[in-house]
Structure formats: C-alpha cells, structure tokens
C-alpha cells in the first residue's frame, strides 16, 4: 500500500458533481454571482453599460474581425478584473470589518488592478481605432 492510499480523503461524504451536472451548477452559480454584482456594485453596472456601448460601436469601424474581438475582450477584461476586485473586497470584509493596514492594502491593490485594466482597455481602443 502506498502513502497516497493511506491518507484520508477529503470530502469523502460529498460527491462532487461531474459532467453536465457540474457545468449546469457552475453556470447557475456564475449567473447568481453576476446578478449579485449587477445589483450591488455600481462599478460593475457602469462597466456593463460600457460593454453595451462598446459592442455596437466596434461594428462601426472598418477593422478586422480579430481587431473587433480584441476591442470587445479589452472591455470584458475590465469586467473580469472588477469581479476579482469585488471578490477581494468581500473576502476582506468577511474576515473582519476592523480597520487594518493589510486589509486596506488588499482592497487598494484590487482597485489598482481595475485601474490598470482600464488603461489597457483605453490603449487598446486608441491603438486599434487610430491606426
């Protein structure tokens, strides 16, 4: 018997879903999170509006399909980073509402990531549309 067989299995009593059930549950959880974000995070609502405006605008320019995808993905990238930033904020608040320099730093770093993603998006749009 090897060491792997001797170690206790975590979550023995819980069977993880597989196949289409796993995909369905993951999609359901993701949709629930997106609904929560839209309801509770004004920055996410603003980024959804930005996406709703950017998508049709991307069709107005004489650019390649690849360039159009890059433009749209740059906006989706901002939304992705906003989701990660919100996750950081939620985790920090879950741990403690007490003011702590590391908690503030974690939130500031998440905010900085959103700012950098906005710069990347702006540069992407400028380079593609002005070239």
**What's CA 40's distance to the chain center, in Å?**
15
Q: Which two tokens stand for residue 47?
A: 């980024």
Q: Which two tokens stand for residue 117?
A: 């993603």
Q: Residues 87, 107: contact at Cβ < 8 Å?
A: no
67 noted as active-site residue:
no
Catalytic, out of 41, 47, 67, 82: 82
Dihedral sign computed on CA atoms, order 20, 24, 25, 30: positive
Catalytic residues: 82
């Amino acid at each position: 018997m090897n060491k792997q067989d001797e170690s206790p299995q975590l979550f023995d009593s819980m069977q993880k879903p597989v196949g289409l059930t796993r995909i369905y549950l993951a999609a359901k959880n993701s949709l629930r999170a997106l609904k929560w974000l839209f309801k509770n995070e004004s920055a996410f609502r603003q980024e959804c509006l930005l996406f709703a405006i950017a998508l049709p605008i991307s069709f107005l320019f004489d650019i390649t399909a690849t360039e159009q995808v890059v433009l749209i993905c740059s906006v989706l990238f901002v939304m992705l980073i906003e989701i990660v930033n919100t996750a950081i904020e939620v985790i920090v608040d879950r741990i403690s509402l007490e003011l702590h320099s590391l908690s503030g730093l974690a939130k500031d770093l998440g905010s900085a990531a959103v700012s950098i993603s906005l710069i990347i998006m702006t540069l992407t749009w400028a380079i593609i549309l002005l070239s």
